[in-house]
Amino acid sequence: MNPLSLYIHIPFCKQKCNYCDFASYAGKENLIEEYINTVINEIKHLRPTALSTVYIGGGTPSLIAPKYYEKIFKLLSIAPGAELSLEANPGTINQSYLKELKNIGVNRLSLGAQSFNDKHLEILGRIHNAKDIFKSFDDAQAAGFENINLDLIFALPNQTHNDWKEDLKQALSLKPQHLSIYNLQVEEGTKFYNIGDKLPRPTEDEEVAMFEYAIDTLKTAGFHHYEISNFAQPGFECKHNVVYWENGNYLGVGASASSHINGNRFDNPKTIEEYIKLTQLQNKVDLLGHKNQPDQKETIFMGLRLLDGLSKEKFKGYEKEVKELIDDGLLEQKDKIKLTHRGLLLANEVFKLFI
């Protein structure tokens, strides 16, 4: 099990955003204590060692008091130089909170900025405004964070190309080390989904133009485009997420968290209540202890997200699909097989063949 990554899911949020289909729940703060105790219990049971990355995601991990993270970190065996990330929601943090996190050992902060336009933040149902993002970023730097990611979403309802340009300009003005940019996905079960076709979205062409503009702008600003949606200043690529894309070994603890160890997958129950009742820990340990070949489709599907691509051997049995995609200008083969620029913009078309 070496090296190993650990994901910890914190499913609590102040309110549910209008586009969110993650395992996150508002109004359940009364369950925090019991939930963290279950997380602690799960970690004790799994006993992960030599962790090279730990990622605390959500939900809104910054809703939880640092004392809980301190308890969790004390249990972990963390390798020297490990990347320890935490997702924070602007508007839920201040400098003293961030200092406590830094003292516990968190060394990478991911801020869910999403947009710098207050009108769009309100449409998304976020609890923060643009001013909160600037304040949180300043607080994080003052607390000593030198590795900060900003998440942005584009193709928002009523968003123009100029609005998106402005969002990127504001984000770059903060000089973050990392940027994740995602196009808005309207998922079933969300408020946006219920609005249906009446939701005023940019057209597909406008969406592609926004993505291309972001790629050009961020490259010009010195960012390394290393995964479809992820850009980093050299050396600041997110090590934890690269483990997912390389279909590597990771343990997930908490509600809805997935684990992938030695080719085996295990998904925890999705809701907080089901998770707290967790009785299948021994099954999880047993299953993850078996050795299996990693799923080939999954390795291709995830690995193609990385702009470096994958070696030819990984595509054994899929030569026909690869040829078809090369002929269509969506894949290219040099030392490795990877997405072309067109393939990047139409990645879902490529992935369909490997699902």
Instruction: State the residues that interact with ligand SF4 by CB under 6 A.
Output: 13, 16-17, 20, 22, 24, 58-60, 89, 112
Nearer to ligand SF4 by Cβ, of 151 and 163: the residue is: 151
* Residues 19, 95: Cα–Cα separation, whole Å: 29
Q: How far is the CB of 3 from ligand SF4 (least distance, A)?
A: 28
Q: How far is the CB of 176 from ligand SF4 (least distance, A)?
A: 18
Q: How far is the CB of 20 from ligand SF4 (least distance, A)?
A: 3
CB atoms within 10 A of CB 92: 19
Nearer to ligand SF4 by Cβ, of 60 and 247: the residue is: 60
Q: How far is the CB of 154 from ligand SF4 (least distance, A)?
A: 15
Residues 6+ apart with CB under 8 A from 321: 315, 353, 354
Nearer to ligand SF4 by Cβ, of 13 and 179: the residue is: 13
Closest CA to 85 of 45, 47, 118, 52: 52
Q: How far is the CB of 113 from ligand SF4 (least distance, A)?
A: 12
Query: E strand or H helix at 80, and its extent?
Result: strand 78-88
Nearer to ligand SF4 by Cβ, of 49 and 185: the residue is: 185
CB burial of 315-335 (b: ≥16 within 10 Å; e: otherwise) equals beebeebbeebeeeebbbeee
Nearer to ligand SF4 by Cβ, of 58 and 66: the residue is: 58
Long-range contacts of 165-171 (CB under 8 A, 24+ apart): 165/213, 165/217, 166/116, 166/117, 167/115, 167/116, 167/117, 168/213, 168/214, 168/217, 168/218, 170/116, 170/130, 171/113, 171/116
Nearer to ligand SF4 by Cβ, of 105 and 125: the residue is: 125
Q: How far is the CB of 208 from ligand SF4 (least distance, A)?
A: 24
Q: What is the dihedral of CA 350, 210, 114, 174, to 10 degrees?
A: 120
Q: How far is the CB of 316 from ligand SF4 (least distance, A)?
A: 38
* Residues 222, 3: Cα–Cα separation, whole Å: 30
Nearer to ligand SF4 by Cβ, of 13 and 344: the residue is: 13
